[in-house]
Amino acid sequence: HMTCRKPGGCGHEFCWICMKDWKTHKACNALEENQTQNEAGHQSELRRFAHFYERFLAHQRAEQYAATTHTTRMRNLAALLAEVHNLKVHDFCFLTEGVAQVRDSRRFLKWTYAHGFFTTFTADQRQLFEFHQAQLEGTLERLSDLLENHNFETYFSPETESYVPFYNVRQQAMSLTGVVGKFFAHLQEAIEQDTLFTV
């Protein structure tokens, strides 16, 4: 999700994909069926295509950002933190590993929208597919938000009295990276093996 930041920002939080208020946001990966039922033929199919294509493009843009700008930023941040605290860069690899997981998951998620567009699902199958897609997407957003918006610069001071806040954030990032990785692997395997709907 996004936050309108200072200076001059209002602090409003919203979903960067569907632009709805974050506080009332549930999931924007599901196509609202009543939209398609009230429209006829080609118009309905065009709206359906636009729904999937917009989400595909949103994840593609986020993937490109993670692959370039954000990867470089995290690599530099890890090196700087290691230098300031006289530690090894390896102690900060959770930053680059997290961004790599974000990048890979964004790439996968964008293609789940293509898969969702072209695959014929029953209503129950579509609901289950979108549930798993939303689980991955929601957890990925939490990881991405932590890595992009946490102020890691507060740990630059060599006079830091306690490393507890840093290690709490580190543990949170590592946990989220692991959870996103598991959601990603399970959904990918289920799609590849066509086992998403088997009991």
Which residue's structure tokens are 């072209």?
A: 118
In order of 71, 77, 131, 158, 186, the CA distances from 28 in angstroms are 26, 32, 11, 43, 21
Q: How many structural domains does the chain have? A: 1
- C-alpha 65/C-alpha 61 separation (Å) is 6
* 100/197: higher pLDDT: 100
Residue 28 belongs to a domain: no
Q: Report the pLDDT value the prediction gives residue 31, as an integer from 0 to 100.
A: 67
Backbone angles phi, psi at 87, to 5 degrees: -120, 175
- pTM for the full predicted model: 0.77
The larger pLDDT score, comparing residue 167 to residue 41, is at 167
pLDDT of residue 16 exceeding 90, the answer is: no
Q: Is residue 15 part of a domain?
A: no
**CA 8, 14, 19 angle in degrees (round to 5)?**
110
Q: Say if 17 falls within a structural domain.
A: no
What percent of the chain has a predicted confidence (pLDDT) above 70?
88
With respect to residue 112, please indicate whether it lies within any of the assigned structural domains: yes
Q: Across-strand partners of 21?
A: 14
What pLDDT does 38 receive? 53
The CATH number linked to 188 is 1.20.120.1750
Peptide bond into 165 cis (omega under 30): no
Residue 10 falls inside a structural domain: no
- The answer to the question of residue 154 being in a domain is yes
The torsion angles phi and psi of 21, rounded to 5 degrees, stand at -55, 130
Residue at 199 is within a domain? no
Give the mean pLDDT of the chain.
86
Question: Which residues span the domain enclosing 109?
Answer: 33-193
Cβ-contact 147, 74 below 8 angstroms: yes
Give me the sign of the Cα torsion angle 143, 148, 151, 153.
positive
- Considering the domain boundaries, does residue 96 fall inside one? yes
Tens digits of residue pLDDT in 96-149? 999 999 999 999 999 999 999 999 988 998 999 999 999 999 999 999 999 999
pLDDT, tens digit (0-9, with 9 covering 90-100), for 53-96? 999 999 999 999 999 999 999 999 988 888 887 778 888 899 99
Sequence-separated (6 or more) residues with CB below 8 Å from residue 77: 92, 95, 152
